[in-house]
């Protein structure tokens, strides 16, 4: 006989999961007992976060890197409620995460037991209803296996996202007969949706005589990105990316015009104007504020739009589009196969950089500041320098706030030709925009990246909120470089208040030496006050060691991040 906790881990092992991120407690103890048995046998390991929100962020990062489901868990009561922000972040970004929370024993429901979070206490299961794809209380031992399998099917469907199982202590501890688990797990292969042939014919006919087409690549284009780029090259079309998809392409491609949307580039907006784009083909993304630059009707949101995605939710706001097609992107591109065979552009492709090494065809704001060496460090120069010296396969995460504003605009991805087409190199948790997301997600990503370089940019506000999670990277011997943008303020709030004419309140933070804080935790750290200090460091060497490192970078707090599109929404201009 085995316990239900062992049964869960047996299934997760078949799905390729290596880690469960969480914080132990009394009601979740049977699951941790199963994890201990698993670890002794060389199976799935428990990684202990410092806070349950961090555990959910770690599961998010692990899923992004590996393409497998991320797993996080907590005990009853506050353990479960602490998870919710991280789970909501995964939900907003469509990241497959299995969330397991505990309950006290069923017979104790409603009797005022310690950390009672049942339907007769603080009902935590109900709290997960609106931030999960599937959410259920497992009330009987016999329910666990079918509900677990149902949850997995939701998590990794064509509309991926987190799923939640609330499992009472006695149900998790219940004994079950060991039985054969299907080793191939074929039921969980993501079956492709065949696009409408009639709609495809309409698209082919419509695009046949269009010379000026701009393609907007979204995060859902992962997996088909090589074919999409080949099609773009064969037709000489221009392309841009949404903020989330920046890391799917090489930013020096001569047909690339930058990021459109949140903190994007003027060259991307220009490429989408009617005189440059008879048609706008949007691939694999939702029409939200972030990807449409605040629903700008001069660019994507027009009758020129052709919207393609395998995720039906992406198409839900495309009512103004000329055509919308639901289905596998790879199957959609099959009709172009013969055209792609004769892609002469690829043979003559030369990456496009200017005399100073920046993407030539992308209009960067304040371009000269990308090379500023004087005084406090310019964020533009920091992003430019770091993206130039980090290895081409570096996974970079930009945290909520000024970090992702500067990163979206100034980080230059040099995606290697042979990089896994299902993965991206640039990550933002911008759907829910949780402060501190990148810190935990970087730990989870490094756990799945098997020694590949991972860099996390975060602000001093996020560091004060969630910085303790860097000790998990130390404990797990993970090579994450944490870069703190230190300006003694909640920078995005401060600049937003100034730009919007609001009262200046609530943004000031104390002056903190994060290098000393990291050293007190046993982590290698450096205080960076000038660009000359940064030049002295061997960044590739720091990224190659099996341990975290922290750079406390004092940035020029007067530099205003590229947040014009966001301000239009906040001030009611759109």
- Strand ranges (E), 151-260: 163-168, 175-176, 213-217, 238-241, 256-259
pLDDT at 124: 87
pLDDT at 340: 63
Distance CA 432, CA 148 (A): 26
Q: 51 near 89, Cβ under 8 Å? A: no
Q: 80 near 117, Cβ under 8 Å? A: yes
On whether the 2-177 domain is CATH 2.60.40.1180, my answer is no
Name residue, tokens 């992107």: 329
pLDDT at 344: 60
**Residue 165 phi, psi (nearest 5):** -115, 120
Which residues does residue 441 pair with via DSSP β-bridges, in sequence order? none
On whether the 197-347 domain is CATH 3.40.50.1220, my answer is yes
- pLDDT above 70 covers a percentage of the chain that reads 92
pLDDT in tens, 18-30: 999 999 999 999 9
Q: 33 near 9, Cβ under 8 Å? A: no
* Range(s) of the chain covered by CATH 3.40.50.1220: 197-347
Take residue 462 and report the two structure tokens written for it: 């996020």
Q: Residue 69's closest CA among 101, 97, 35, 45?
A: 97
C-alpha triplet 511, 513, 519: angle, nearest 5°: 160
Name residue, tokens 């309950």: 103
**Residue 213 phi, psi (nearest 5):** -130, 135
Residue 161 DSSP code: -
pLDDT at 502: 87
pLDDT in tens, 534-556: 999 999 999 999 999 999 999 99
Pick the CATH number of 367-570 from 3.40.50.300, 3.90.600.10, 3.40.50.970, 3.40.1440.60: 3.40.50.970
Q: Residue 42: CB partners within 8 Å, gap ≥ 6?
A: none
Q: Average pLDDT of the chain?
A: 92
Number of H helices, E strands in the chain: 24, 20
To which H or E segment does residue 22 belong? strand 19-22
Computed on alpha carbons and rounded to an integer, the radius of gyration of the chain in Å comes to 24
pLDDT at 574: 52
pLDDT in tens, 219-268: 999 999 999 999 999 889 999 999 999 999 999 999 999 999 999 999 99
Is 367 exposed, middle or buried, given 0-12, 13-18 or 19+ CB atoms closer than 10 A?
middle
pLDDT in tens, 385-440: 999 999 999 999 999 999 999 999 999 999 999 999 999 999 999 999 999 999 99
pLDDT in tens, 293-310: 989 888 999 999 999 999
- pLDDT above 90 covers a percentage of the chain that reads 76
Distance CA 53, CA 72 (A): 10
Average pLDDT over every residue of 77-98: 97
Take residue 326 and report the two structure tokens written for it: 């639901």
pLDDT at 103: 86
* Range(s) of the chain covered by CATH 3.40.50.970: 2-177, 367-570
């Amino acid at each position: 006989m085995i316990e239900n906790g062992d049964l869960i881990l047996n299934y997760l092992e078949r799905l390729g999961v290596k880690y469960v991120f969480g914080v132990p407690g009394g009601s979740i103890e049977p699951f941790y007992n199963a994890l201990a048995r698993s670890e002794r046998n060389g199976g799935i390991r428990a990684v202990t976060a410092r806070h349950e929100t961090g555990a959910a962020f770690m599961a998010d990062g692990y899923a992004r890197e590996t393409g497998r489901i991320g797993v996080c868990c907590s005990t009853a009561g506050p353990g479960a409620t602490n998870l919710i922000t991280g789970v909501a972040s995964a939900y907003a970004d469509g990241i497959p995460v299995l969330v397991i929370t505990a309950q006290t024993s069923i017979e104790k429901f409603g009797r005022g037991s310690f950390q009672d979070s049942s339907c007769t206490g603080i009902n935590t299961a109900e709290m997960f209803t609106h931030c999960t794809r599937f959410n259920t209380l497992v009330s009987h031992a016999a329910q666990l296996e079918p509900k677990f399998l149902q949850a997995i099917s939701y998590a990794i469907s064509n509309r991926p996202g987190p799923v939640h199982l609330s499992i009472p202590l006695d149900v998790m501890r219940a004994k079950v007969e060991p039985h054969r688990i299907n080793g191939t797990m074929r039921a969980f292969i993501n079956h492709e949706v065949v696009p409408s042939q009639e709609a495809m014919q309409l698209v082919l006919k419509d695009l046949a005589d269009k010379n000026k087409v701009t393609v907007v690549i979204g995060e859902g284009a992962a997996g088909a990105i090589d074919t999409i780029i080949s099609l773009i090259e064969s037709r000489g079309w221009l392309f841009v990316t949404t903020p989330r998809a920046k890391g799917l392409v090489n930013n020096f491609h001569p047909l690339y015009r930058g990021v459109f949307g949140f903190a994007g580039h003027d060259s991307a907006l220009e490429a989408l104007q009617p005189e440059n784009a008879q048609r706008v083909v949007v691939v694999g993304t939702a029409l939200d504020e972030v990807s449409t630059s605040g629903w700008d009707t001069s660019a994507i949101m027009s009758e020129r739009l052709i919207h393609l995605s395998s995720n039906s939710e992406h198409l839900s706001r495309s009512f103004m589009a000329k055509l919308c097609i639901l289905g596998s992107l790879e199957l959609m591109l099959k009709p172009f196969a013969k055209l792609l065979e004769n892609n002469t552009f690829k043979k003559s492709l030369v990456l496009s950089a200017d005399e100073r090494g920046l993407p030539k065809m992308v209009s960067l704001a304040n371009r000269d500041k990308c090379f500023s060496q004087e005084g406090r460090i310019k964020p533009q120069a920091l992003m430019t320098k770091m993206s130039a010296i980090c290895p081409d396969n570096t996974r970079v995460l930009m945290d909520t706030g000024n970090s992702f504003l500067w990163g979206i605009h100034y980080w230059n991805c040099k995606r290697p030709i042979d990089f896994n087409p299902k993965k991206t190199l640039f990550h933002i948790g911008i759907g829910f925009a949780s402060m501190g997301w990148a810190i935990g997600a970087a730990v989870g990503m490094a756990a799945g990246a098997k020694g590949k370089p991972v860099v996390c940019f975060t602000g001093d506000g996020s560091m004060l909120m969630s910085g303790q999670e860097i000790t998990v990277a130390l404990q797990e011997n993970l090579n994450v470089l944490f870069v703190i943008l230190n300006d003694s303020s909640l920078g995005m709030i401060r600049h937003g208040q100034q730009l919007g004419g609001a009262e200046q309140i609530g943004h000031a933070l104390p002056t903190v030496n994060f290098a000393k804080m990291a050293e007190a935790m046993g982590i290698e750290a450096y205080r960076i006050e000038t660009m000359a200090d940064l030049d002295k460091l061997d960044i590739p060497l720091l990224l190659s060691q099996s341990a975290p490192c922290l750079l406390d970078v004092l940035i020029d707090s007067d530099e205003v991040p590229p947040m014009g599109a966001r301000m239009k929404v906040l001030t009611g201009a759109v």
